[in-house]
């Protein structure tokens, strides 16, 4: 599918209104690659002015690289949201240094994750420990986000994920769902969160416009779903990812608009393919208007 609903079919006018709201002010996620660190313009030149831009943390580059990119984005007028990965930090002293740098740069929001490092580098083993450490230090930014996992996590049981999110809601302001290709699954997750007493606003994580084969490789690597279950549950998406060309988020975003009544927005995983994702967004907004 390469176009959005026109509002006259299965979601009707209500879905079209929801779609327009979802597309109004999405977040863009980028990674702190060497190219971005050396030349931030490779990312910023294509972003809408003043956009909210989140910056991931990788075990190889660490939190310092993320903070540096966030500083560069803030200096250019963007709402930078660095990911702070607990397992990549040595101790509270290092955490305080990063938070002080971000505050000085005018960064008012962070996204707290456990991180992809297999072993913790220091005294902060997970995201909850980092959330509590920021509060203990008196350096909690005004706005804090945490991740959630509609498709589950390849290393953490579902009951643990729910218990963790239930506690984190008292330390956070919103949650962003991990990469997921199934709108029904995201909507079901949002409903179940409410049923479990979790009131955090849910922002849906959606892959942007990216080479299909690359997206499939990344999805398998980060454990979106095991290969057999992914193929069974996402036949249409899996097939499109195996074909040459680019994956677009039209079908997924249309499904979210039709099936989810209370999403707080979209989070676009760009994989640093910012320009095609921004062009898609412009076309999608026109179609939904």
Task: List the beta strands (DSSP E) in the chain.
Answer: 27-30, 52-55, 79-85, 109-113, 143-148, 174-177, 202-207, 210-211, 246-247, 265-269
Least confident range from 85-94, 117-126, 139-148, 196-205: namely 117-126
CATH 3.30.70.330 fits 12-209+248-288, yes or no: no
Helix residue ranges per DSSP H, 92-182: 92-104, 127-136, 158-168
d(CA 7, CA 17): 8
Least confident range from 127-131, 185-189, 236-240: namely 236-240
Query: Cβ atoms within 10 A of the Cβ of 274, count?
Result: 23
Q: What is the pLDDT of residue 244?
A: 52
Mean pLDDT of 200-228: 70
pLDDT tens digits along 9-55: 444 566 678 899 999 999 999 999 999 999 999 999 999 999 999 99
Mean pLDDT of 262-278: 94
Q: Is the predicted pLDDT of residue 238 greater than 60, yes or no?
A: no
pTM for this predicted structure: 0.88
User: Angle 155-215-252 (CA atoms, 0-180°, nearest 5)?
Assistant: 90
pLDDT band at 152 (very low <50, low <70, confident <90, very high): confident
Within 13 Å of residue 109, how many CA atoms lie on the same side as its CB? 19
> Where exactly are the structural domains of the chain?
12-209+248-288
pLDDT band at 254 (very low <50, low <70, confident <90, very high): very high
């Amino acid at each position: 599918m390469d176009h959005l609903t026109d509002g006259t079919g299965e979601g009707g006018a209500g879905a079209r209104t929801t779609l327009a709201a979802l597309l109004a002010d999405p977040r863009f996620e980028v990674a702190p690659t060497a190219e971005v660190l050396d030349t931030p313009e490779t990312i910023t030149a294509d972003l809408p002015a003043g956009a909210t831009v989140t910056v991931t943390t990788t075990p190889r580059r660490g939190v310092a690289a993320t903070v540096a990119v966030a500083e560069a984005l803030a200096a250019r007028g963007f709402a930078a949201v660095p990911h702070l990965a607990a397992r990549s930090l040595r101790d509270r002293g290092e955490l305080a240094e990063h938070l002080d740098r971000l505050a000085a740069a005018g960064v008012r929001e962070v996204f707290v994750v456990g991180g992809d490092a297999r072993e913790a580098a220091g005294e902060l083993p997970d995201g909850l420990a980092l959330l509590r450490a920021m509060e203990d230090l008196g350096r909690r930014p005004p706005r804090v986000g945490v991740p959630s996992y509609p498709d589950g996590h390849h290393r953490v049981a579902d009951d643990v994920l729910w218990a963790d999110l239930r506690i984190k809601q008292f330390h956070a302001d919103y949650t962003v769902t991990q990469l997921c290709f199934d709108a029904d699954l995201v909507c079901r997750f949002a409903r179940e969160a409410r049923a479990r007493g979790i009131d955090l606003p849910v922002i849906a994580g959606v892959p942007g416009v990216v080479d299909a084969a690359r997206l499939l490789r990344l999805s398998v690597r980060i454990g979106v779903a095991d290969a057999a279950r992914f193929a069974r549950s996402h036949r249409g998406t899996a097939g499109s990812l195996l074909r040459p060309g680019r994956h677009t988020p039209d079908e997924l975003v249309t499904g979210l608009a039709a099936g989810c009544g209370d999403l707080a927005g979209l989070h676009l995983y760009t994989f640093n393919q910012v320009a095609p994702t921004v062009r898609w967004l412009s076309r999608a907004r026109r179609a939904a208007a």
